[in-house]
Structure 1
Amino acid sequence: MSEFARLQSLTEQLLAAARRAGADQADAVAVEAAAVSVDVRAGKLEHAERAEGVEIGLRVLLGGRQACVSASDRSERTIGDMAQRAVAMAREAPVDDTLGLAEPDELTRDTDSTRLDLFDHGPEPEPAFLQDAALRAEAAALAVDGISKIEAAGASFSHRRMWISATNGFSAGVARSGHGLSAIAITGEGTGMERDWAGESRVHGSDMPSPEDIGRQAGERTVERRGARKPPTGAFPILYDERIASGLIGHLVSAANGAAVARGASWLRDALGEAVLPPGFDLIEEPHLPRMGGSRIFDAEGLATAPRAIVRDGVLQGWTLDLATGRKLGMPSTANAMRGAGSPPSPGITNLVLTPGEKSREDLIRDMGRGLLVTSMLGASINSTTGDYSRGASGFWVENGQITHAVNECTIAGNLRDMLMRLTAANDVRDWRASRVPSLLIEGMTVAGE
């Protein structure tokens, strides 16, 4: 029996048990996954780990109530106990009339994900292969003049198969794989120590950059941070480097999530149809990009996914919805349901593409005159209701349109609604990113340093 056939059989057993236990509706998930990772330090193996297993999950719906249970044991007795327990839990849950499966005519008939090429069918990399890749990345980082040591270098591989079945007739599966490699380098000693990193991940091993490229990039980025000090305090333009600019757009995406909007906990809750980015900016979700780990043909509730505009020409077009949040807001689902084995569906995003600008990152640095180029962020204080924003940051100080020195230990602050309306985008969008967002310049933010 194939892996998918075994998983499908498990979901069918769970649904049958749910019906016997008295559920009105149910959906079931079975996930088979394996992951191996190898870390090296100082030319030697530091840590190696492998994990694998199968997890099953069941959601039951009963009179407007729901409950979810999961287990790693797949015995017939466990499946029966799960169904009984889930139904008992559902009877005690609060009523929510927005809960329910998709109608059969809403379900997609296209469930073949193979055209997205989300699974690497090549041989699974051996631990020795991963160790060699990590050692090569470490050696390349150490070869950069000024690097004192490597904090960590690691390589990983994972694969995952998931099958979803529901009492409305939906039944489909998807397989994904992932390769990863990263290195963290250190320069200096004591209080003058600085670190930076580089890392990449791909669905297919053949798409990965070489370990030498990743290690060298980690080393070069780290050496650039030597002599970092606090920047001045004041109002300055801030350029979010491409490495971290997607996080800024992520705050907009989170605020446009229907779950947050339905709770009234979103600073965009009253902004539908209003400008949230400058004119000319589109923010598009692209769920069908091939060889990208987040891509998908159908969502966790069996609806067909499709490209959609979250923002068009700067104007907010709609919320990110699953069935329940869509019903709460009086809108159809946008086919954005995601879920795990032990949780109900909730709205989530796949791949994002933001309109790039015409100028290079270097052009924006020149144009900003005096300000801060941010390459790393830590901590966060973000008010989801008001959009007030404050984060720790480090990067580089810009004076007279040129980078002069590295900076650290500073805080940048503003209000997201205002910040996002003052964006200028660079043209440095990179492929192989789930969020294809270029470097972004924001005028007039507060920097707290010296």
Structure 2
Amino acid sequence: MTTVLLPSLPRTASKRPGIEFPFFCLLGCSAKYMIPGTREKIWLCVAVTYLFQGIAYSEELRRMKRTVDPEAFMNINELIAYKGYPSEEYEVTTEDGYIITINRIPYGTQNQGNPALKPAVFLQHGLLGDASNWVTNLPNNSLGFMLADAGFDVWMGNSRGNRWSRKHQNYSIDQEEFWAFSFDEMAKFDLPAAINFIVEKTRQEKLYYIGYSQGATIAFIAFSTMPELAQKIKLYFALAPVTTIKYARSPATKLLYLPEKLLRGLLGKREFLPQTECLRRLIAPVCSHRAFAQLCRSVFFSLGGCNLKNIDMNRINVYIAQTTSGTSVQNILHWSQATPPPYNVEEMTVPTAVWTGGQDWLADAKDAAILLSRIKRLIYHKRIPEWAHLDFLWGLDAPLRVYSEIIDLMQKHP
């Protein structure tokens, strides 16, 4: 991460190990405010950062930590076990040497039995997410748990570079070579490695695939360019798919309009928005405090839009603490291309069901319409007018409006 040196800042504060300036400025301020000439707003961002650092060492923070949901500080295995579900974790090596982590819920609390007899389903998170996205709500409102209770063998991927997939056979995360990847490599290497591992482990010829946001992006790439991989997919469920961002209204995507040279200067050459344990233990209690709740919500919902009435705000500190999980700067720059890579979605033969949101600032309806017209075997599409990007993960009505439909389609297509 690039270090930004700023004049006239308190030396004592700069020596404290706490939140880095680039994190809040890039997540909360750059996308909305970092435009040439808005120096005052940049300094406001700096001031907020140092305010957070001061709180990190106060008695108030220690008091706030005691009021935070314990799930905010759990890893994926702990999140699953905390709800009473069995949890397994595997490391899979890709063809190009990355070691990615896959989490598994082999059966549910209401439907145990032999996992070998249960249909396998693979869930893939979005751009800055991880496998926790599928299990951070209550069991009756989390897709991962609902699928397990419905009788499925649930597998959840973690893309290269996120906090659970930071290993390589030859490179360390301190080397630029480790971070030389984008969603192209995730589609070409991560997805085949994960799917082939699951097929071999379960001894099933085919599985169901659910992709959210960038998790849908890489599926369209992989299934349209690798027919042998596509043959291993029974049904593909695309939630808020993003293949182009030409019409995206997200304030955060405005960062991508900056010249590439300037972007590289701001972001560096390695990791983008890493989630460290120290940072997670700071953000959750701070964002639970009423003085910062609105700021945290604004930052959190800036990427994909806001539908607050449909989000359990009592769990917002869990969502924020578990997100973001990081990716590479190169991946972010890949999204900033004026012309998207020429993948032929029309070549994909996998039966596909798609859900989109009318208030999604990232997967805009106009971009979605272009994608839908290119899907050769579109078996179902549902547009939910009031939904934004995060409703697909944490919407209070997601079980009724999407998850139950996914399960129903799976049961109709065994």
Same topology, TM > 0.5:
no
Q: Which has the higher helix share?
A: 2
Higher relative contact order (CA 8 A, sep 6+): 2
- Structure with greater Cα Rg: 1
Structure number having the greater strand percentage: 1
Which TM-score bucket, shorter chain as reference?
under 0.3
TM-score by length of 2: 0.27
Give TM-score, length-normalised by structure 1: 0.26
